[in-house]
Amino acid sequence: MKNFSEFDLDAKVIKAITEMGFEESTPIQEKTIPLAMEGHDLIGQAQTGTGKTAAFGIPLVSKIEPSEDKIVALIMCPTRELAIQVAEEVAKLGRFKGIRSLPIYGGQDIGKQIRSLKKKPQIIIGTPGRLLDHINRKTIKLEAVQTVVLDEADEMLDMGFMDDIQSILSLVPAERHTMLFSATMPPNIQKLAQQFLTNPQHVSVIPKHVSAPLIDQAYVEVHEKQKFEALSRLIDMEAPELAIVFGRTKRRVDELAEALQKRGYAAEGLHGDLSQNQRDNVMRKFRDGSIDVLVATDVAARGLDVSGVTHVVNFDLPQDPESYVHRIGRTGRAGKEGTAWTFVTPREIDHLHFIEKVTRHKIPKKPMPSPAEAMEGKQKVTAERLINLLQEEKHLEFKGVAIQLLEEYDSVNLLSAALQLLTGGEKKEVNVELTPEDPIRAKKRRVDVRSSGRKFSYGSDRRSDGRSGGGYNRSGGSSGGGSRYGSSSSSSRGRDGGRDYRDRDGGSRYGGGSGGSRSTGSDYNKDRSSSSSSRRNDDSNA
């Protein structure tokens, strides 16, 4: 991998990169930075957690003059949390150069945004709905925009943002530089590319498996009613540092977060029906570790980069293979390892196979963790806590009582009792009821592996094992199979429900035939609303 000084970058940007702790470029960065610096339109595909943000962020900030007083770059993201995060990364990259960037998303006070816009940011990072809102108010003007980035392009398409993106791009000069990024590139992305890009270069560093290589994947076959027990045993057994648990609907997420809290886990839910304040709070707590289980709908599936996420659990099987790839990709990022478990009910096994087929990765089956394994995990964690306390010498004021107790009782018995107390088994007894979700049905979607669109792939088949050395180490670079997976789906994808639907409507099961559900209001952002009357106007209070 290349050192960043080998690219033709602004010295102040290189300083920022160094400060961020990046030593070498990742494969997608190595391939896209030179192309982007030359102004080529491009479609960039690389596994989750491999630095796509910096792949477009670095050339972007490198090319902008600090003296510029117009908006010259626009980055669009599907969710608010992602817009915030991308804005933070861009701000870090542009820090020494004095580049001004601003996130613009639904749910945030529009007056405040207008005030921030008066500071003349050069880069806007936003969700499409709120962007359009500002454009209509003329508080955002796009006539000087030279570069547009669509992050998670396929998702924005899928959420029904096509019209919004079209409206936005119609206001950007045609002579522009457009880049499109995602870990997954289903075929319908071609349509978007054809419309918005000019002679794009396809840059793909997707090896055999589209899912990130450092993720240890498994599935557990469980009945709907056993899922909660399976989850708590799993958490006990694995003791994740941070975990994200994905549920199908908002209701599911609410119930699950509450149930976990009742059982004594530090968990909170995230979905599109929460106020932006609540969403921000939950994310902040998760990032700083004051909660360690984030229960979320697919609103958290894309792009979020929280270091320390060691586990992802698909409490409910995701509808789309793409969703699977992105959900599990919240762990195993930036060269770290991660674990992803997926709960599958017996009736959903076919759908799991479908996901395996599309992602070209066999997901091994594991047994449901036993109570003994769960207990063992908990005991281990308790023992570790005890030892930490001992090493920190925070226990000294208890010494007197300890001596007294030891005079009367056997030391092993005494310590066992203390451990039992610490392990806190009593909360396990709390009864928990979740409203059952209907199983996901296998969709008829043609999986044509052979004809996989080689266009996007030029197989840098990488392996995960290289963990030596500093820096990123996600490369490996032997050539090979490099078949991309995205080719597999037919056009049946996208219009028929799935995630947004689930996220939007706590109760309804997927597939109730509501053909247009994608466009009836992704609650995702609650962001798309103000731009189009057919959508729920969730932002009206903003």
Ligand X SMILES: Nc1ncnc2c1ncn2[C@@H]1O[C@H](COP(=O)(O)OP(=O)(O)OP(=O)(O)O)[C@@H](O)[C@H]1O
What is the CA angle 244-82-502, rounded to 5? 60
The one segment of 19-27, 134-142, 272-280, 528-536 that binds ligand X by CB under 6 A: 19-27
Select the residue interacting with ligand X from 45, 53, 211, 517 (CB under 6 A): 53
Q: Return the residues of window 292-311 that contact ligand X according to CB under 6 A.
A: 303, 305
The one segment of 50-58, 315-323, 421-429, 439-447 that binds ligand X by CB under 6 A: 50-58
In the bound state with ligand X, the residue whose beta carbon lies nearer, of 52 and 351, is 52
Query: Is residue 256 a contact partner of residue 269, using CB atoms and an 8 Å limit?
Result: yes
Question: What is the bridge-based pairing of β-strands 242-246 and 309-314?
Answer: parallel
The one segment of 47-55, 99-107, 254-262, 459-467 that binds ligand X by CB under 6 A: 47-55
Query: Is residue 243 a contact partner of residue 292, using CB atoms and an 8 Å limit?
Result: yes
What is the CA angle 186-484-33, rounded to 5? 90
In whole angstroms, give the CA distance from residue 219 to residue 487: 24
Q: Kindly state the smallest distance separating residue 121's Cβ from ligand X, in Å.
A: 21
Residue 347: DSSP 8-state: G
Q: Return the residues of window 323-342 that contact ligand X according to CB under 6 A.
A: 329, 333-334
Q: Kindly state the smallest distance separating residue 87's Cβ from ligand X, in Å.
A: 13
**Inter-residue long-range contacts of 96-99, CB under 8 Å, 24+ positions, other chains counted:** 96/12, 96/13, 96/15, 96/16, 96/19, 97/10, 97/12, 97/13, 97/16, 97/61, 97/64, 97/66, 98/66, 99/61, 99/64, 99/66, 99/123
509 phi-psi bin (left φ>0, alpha ψ -120 to 50, beta other): beta
Neighbours of 364 (CB within 10 A): 9
In the bound state with ligand X, the residue whose beta carbon lies nearer, of 336 and 366, is 336
CB contact set of 404 (below 8 Å; sequence gap of 6+): none
Q: Kindly state the smallest distance separating residue 89's Cβ from ligand X, in Å.
A: 6
Q: Kindly state the smallest distance separating residue 377's Cβ from ligand X, in Å.
A: 28
Q: Kindly state the smallest distance separating residue 159's Cβ from Mg ion, in Å.
A: 16
In the bound state with ligand X, the residue whose beta carbon lies nearer, of 185 and 220, is 185
In the bound state with Mg ion, the residue whose beta carbon lies nearer, of 78 and 482, is 78
The one segment of 298-306, 324-332, 339-347, 505-513 that binds Mg ion by CB under 5 A: 298-306
User: Binding marks (x or -) toward Mg ion, 51..90, rule CB under 5 A?
Assistant: -x--------------------------------------
- Identify the H or E element spanning 309: strand 309-314
Nearest residue to ligand X, using CB?
51
488 binds, among ligand X, Mg ion, none (CB under 5 to 8 A by kind): none
Select the residue interacting with ligand X from 31, 52, 130, 445 (CB under 6 A): 52
Tokens of 459: 């197989």
Select the residue interacting with ligand X from 44, 49, 78, 498 (CB under 6 A): 49
**Inter-residue long-range contacts of 95-103, CB under 8 Å, 24+ positions, other chains counted:** 95/16, 95/19, 96/12, 96/13, 96/15, 96/16, 96/19, 97/10, 97/12, 97/13, 97/16, 97/61, 97/64, 97/66, 98/66, 99/61, 99/64, 99/66, 99/123, 101/125
Q: Kindly state the smallest distance separating residue 462's Cβ from Mg ion, in Å.
A: 18
Q: Does 51 bind ligand X (CB under 6 A)?
A: yes
In the bound state with ligand X, the residue whose beta carbon lies nearer, of 149 and 291, is 149
In the bound state with ligand X, the residue whose beta carbon lies nearer, of 57 and 129, is 57
The structure tokens 């610096």 sit at 37
Positions touching Mg ion (CB under 5 A) are 52, 303
Which residues bind to ligand X, rule: CB under 6 A? 22, 25-26, 29, 46, 48-54, 183, 303, 305, 329, 333-334, 471-472
